[in-house]
Amino acid sequence: MKKLIYLGLVVILVVLIGSIMFKGRYKEDNEKEVKGEYEQGSSTSTRANKGEDNREDESNLSQNEREKDTYIRYDSQGSIGAGILFLNLVEENKENLTFELMLNTHSVNLDDIDYANLVSLTTDKEIVISDGFRWEKTEGGGHHISGYLEIPRKYEGTNIIDDSTKFIEIEIRGLDNIESRKFRWEQDVLKFFNY
């Protein structure tokens, strides 16, 4: 009988310690999952195009992924981890500014959210754009989703980004009851933008 009580206490103690450790690591893990899913998805599509068995292609792939990683911004407030890659820095698009949005959670269904209505773009030139975004889901569903947010490169006849732009910022408002999530790209990376 004493062994059974002792075993029960040990099990309860292990469960308590495990849940405390889980809560402490959840925020960090959420960001890592967003980043990991991006790298896994990108690696898969790039490998399919290049051939999986070529070691030279693998080293080029990892250099390309490292380059893309410098253009991703993360936010892990609340129960949703979010990452945004400013795609125009790595892929040319003469018509639109394109942002790849990657979301990860273990508690919220991400499918039925119209992300185009939650975002705005701001620049150092006091341009603030809240309308005109398009959302296209590209993969995933439920708790893991990614897609593209696009907006025309020109606003009221003027380029949103030019060679004097100091920063651009994407803000997501109200996702998972978080008032504001901001993702900023400064002049040091905007210099790679093709005007």
Tokens of 195: 């005007």
Specify the number of domains making up the chain. Answer: 1
Tokens of 172: 């997501």
Q: How far apart are CA 142 and CA 136, in angstroms?
A: 15
In a domain, 47, yes or no: yes
Among 53, 30, 58, 56, residue whose Cα is nearest residue 176: 30
Tokens of 155: 């606003």
In a domain, 60, yes or no: yes
In a domain, 98, yes or no: yes
**Contact between residue 180 and residue 127 where contact means Cβ atoms under 8 Å apart:** no
DSSP bridge partners of 152 = 96
Within 8 A by CB and 6+ apart from 24, the residues are: none
Report residue 118 CA to chain centroid gap. 15
Sign of the torsion angle spanned by Cα atoms 154, 94, 149, 166? negative
In a domain, 195, yes or no: no
User: What is the chain's pLDDT, residue by residue, as a tens digit (195 residues)?
Assistant: 766 676 655 656 555 565 444 444 444 555 555 555 555 544 333 322 333 344 445 455 555 666 788 999 999 999 999 999 999 999 999 999 999 999 999 998 999 899 999 999 999 999 999 999 999 999 999 999 999 999 999 999 999 999 999 999 999 999 999 999 999 999 999 999 988
Name the percent of the chain in helix, strand, coil, to the closest 5: 40, 30, 30
In a domain, 24, yes or no: yes
Within 8 A by CB and 6+ apart from 112, the residues are: none
Q: How far apart are CA 76 and CA 105, in angstroms?
A: 10
The domain in which residue 99 lies consists of 2-190
The pTM for the full model equals 0.71
In a domain, 112, yes or no: yes
DSSP state of 18: H
Q: What is the pLDDT of residues 66-105, one digit of tens each?
A: 678 899 999 999 999 999 999 999 999 999 999 999 999 9
Write the CATH number for 150: 2.60.40.10
In a domain, 67, yes or no: yes
